[in-house]
Amino acid sequence: MILLDGKKTSADIKEEIALEVRELKNNEHKTPHLAAIIVGNNGASITYVNAKVKACERVGFESTLIRLPEDISEEDLLNEIAILNVDNDIDGFIVQLPLPKHIDEQKVIMAVDPDKDVDGFHPTNVGKMALNLPTFISATPFGILELLDRYQVETSGKHVVVLGRSHIVGSPMSILLSQKRKVGNATVTMCHSRTKNLKEITLQADIIVTAIGIPEFLKADMVKNNVTVIDVGITRLADPSKKSGFRLVGDVAFNEVAEKSEFITPVPGGVGPMTIAMLLKNTLLACKRKK
């Protein structure tokens, strides 16, 4: 069993990005600049955005954090996005999700300039991704592709089963892995809450990507030997034995599934760290496009 170490791989990617940034600066090119908008006081969102700011500092990017109140109107938020769209110093920006219930998330996503949409959520970028055209691939699927590539996990001709059909992970992963690309050329089955005979399907899989948010859902009796498992889920479970009072688990019953796996991602430390690294990679791409 080989652990797909997202923590180490993301650190390697950040080093590569930092080297490119130094070269850009030596050639008197502008420094990549990532901005983030966060609305309200969601603890997980604040932690995540702060990690993005810290990652920007590590690789030599400039970063801007715009914190807005929970009760901001949709119109005022759209005005903030419009300002970033026309700011030539900002190469890319994100609007941290989820947003308060009174704001239409889709309207916000649509308002972001596709050329600055480093999250890869705008329909223009999703469409380009589906057509296998150069674009920003959203960070989590992009990170999964990178992990599979760097660990030389063969996908061509393999049967991939994707659990979950979200627009952020499941749906784009099913498209990307079926495309004619280096990490692709797979036969993909996408499963979801209405799928019947799920165990029969997962037992056929050479590679399983699970992003359903149900803790330890995928058990050893649902996978065949030498499977590759990519666990995107992360759930906090109460655990009195831990100092924090909780433990983080994925969608996979890790200890039992790992025994049957050829490759597997841990939780935490697998897909999660890759997400920020690929957001930085998209921002660098946005900056270089201007050149």
Give me the domains of the chain, ranges plus CATH numbers: 28-113 (3.40.50.10860), 139-272 (3.40.50.720)
pLDDT at 23: 94
Q: Is 180 a catalytic residue?
A: no
What's the pLDDT tens digit per position in 191-235? 999 999 999 999 999 999 999 999 999 999 999 999 999 999 998
Q: Is 119 a catalytic residue?
A: yes
The single-letter code of the amino acid at 274 is M
43-59 and 271-290 helices, crossing angle to 10° = 50
Q: How many residues does the chain have?
A: 291
Is the omega angle on the peptide bond into residue 98 within 30 degrees of 0, that is, cis?
Answer: yes
Q: What is the dihedral of CA 83, 87, 90, 95, to 10 degrees?
A: 10
Q: Is 96 a catalytic residue?
A: yes
Sign, Cα dihedral of 14, 99, 210, 134: negative
Per-residue tokens: 146:
């990178």
Whether 291 shows a pLDDT value over 80: the answer reads: no
Average pLDDT over residues 53-72: 95
Through-space distance between the first and last CA atoms of the chain, rounded to whole angstroms: 43
Sign, Cα dihedral of 259, 160, 137, 193: negative
**Residues 183 and 177: beta-carbon distance below 8 Å:** yes
Annotated catalytic residue: which of 5, 91, 117, 119? Answer: 119
Q: From the CB of residue 4, how many other CB atoms can be counted at a distance below 10 Å?
A: 25
pLDDT at 239: 87
Annotated catalytic residue: which of 5, 96, 231, 251? Answer: 96
Per-residue burial over 153-183, b if 16 or more Cβ lie within 10 Å, else e, is: bebeebebbbbbbeebbbbbbbbbbbbeeeb
Per-residue tokens: 87:
């700011």
Nearest to 134 by CA among 150, 151, 147, 115: 115
**Residues 115 and 286: beta-carbon distance below 8 Å:** yes
Annotated catalytic residue: which of 52, 116, 206, 231? Answer: 52
What's the pLDDT tens digit per position in 117-139? 999 999 999 999 999 999 999 99
Nearest to 116 by CA among 127, 125, 126: 125
